[in-house]
Each structure stands twice: as structure tokens, then as C-alpha cells.
Amino acid sequence: MRVAVASDDFLNVTGHAGKAVRFLVYEAEANVPPREVGRLDLAADLTIHEFRCDGPHPLFGMRAVIAGSAGAGFVRRLAEHGVETAITAERDPATAVSHWAAGTLAPPGPHDHEGGCGCNCG
């Protein structure tokens, strides 16, 4: 199954998923190391914060999206397309995907979406 990880630098899990433009894409399954299969570098108008759901979106083809933080709007919009949102304190993308597939992903820290934009976008 395909899992996208928000990553501003393509090295670390990053937060504010609704405004993220870069995602690592992994093929994931339980008990198998995740394999990076692609990268998304979205235009600004394709962030979930800006996207108006008026057509297909690359994240809608994922089974899950992992990020350091996400607001309720992000979670809701992806869920409408059958995509799970997983929030974590884990910073290594491959480790986060591996733990997600095993059902052992570390929960988020106390910083999640504090001081955010207030838009409920995620």
C-alpha cells in the first residue's frame, strides 16, 4: 500500500501537513522494510490548504499520509477520500512508515498545531 510522508527536505518528517508541498512516497506492508517509490513536489495550489477538491489530487491515491502535525480540516478532507492521517513525533520517514505499517507509530508530541494559522486546514 502507498503511504506519503510530509517532508520539507525529503529527509525528515515535517509538520503542518495542510501546507506541505513535499512528500516522500513509500510502498509499505507489515513486517517488510518500507521502500521509497517516489517523491511529490506539489505546486502551492495543490497543498490541501489551498486545494478546492475540484478534481484528482496525488494524496487521494494514498492509503495514509504521515506528518508531524495536521489540523482537523486536513484529516477530514483526506478521510473523505479514504486516506488515513497519522500524526507522529517520529522524525525519520522510513521508520515512521515501518511503525505505521506495524501499528506501532509513536504518538505526536504536545506541539501539534499550536500557534498554527487558525484556519482549521491542517
pLDDT at 20: 96
Q: How large is the average pLDDT for residues 50-73? A: 92
What's the whole-number average pLDDT of the chain?
89
pLDDT in tens, 43-54: 999 999 999 877
Q: Are 85 and 17 in contact (CB under 8 A)?
A: yes
Q: Are 65 and 59 in contact (CB under 8 A)?
A: yes
- Element (H or E) spanning 100, and its range? helix 93-102
- pTM, entire model: 0.88
Question: Please, which pLDDT band fits residue 111 given cuts at 50, 70 and 90?
Answer: low
Domain range summary for the chain, segments of one domain joined by +: 2-102
Cα gap 49→73, rounded to integer Å: 8
pLDDT at 107: 82
CATH number of the domain located at residue range(s) 2-102 in this protein? 3.30.420.130
Beta-bridge partner residues of 67: 87
pLDDT at 119: 45
Q: How large is the average pLDDT for residues 99-107? A: 91
Beta-bridge partner residues of 84: 64
Q: Are 13 and 90 in contact (CB under 8 A)?
A: yes
pLDDT of residue 25 exceeding 70, the answer is yes
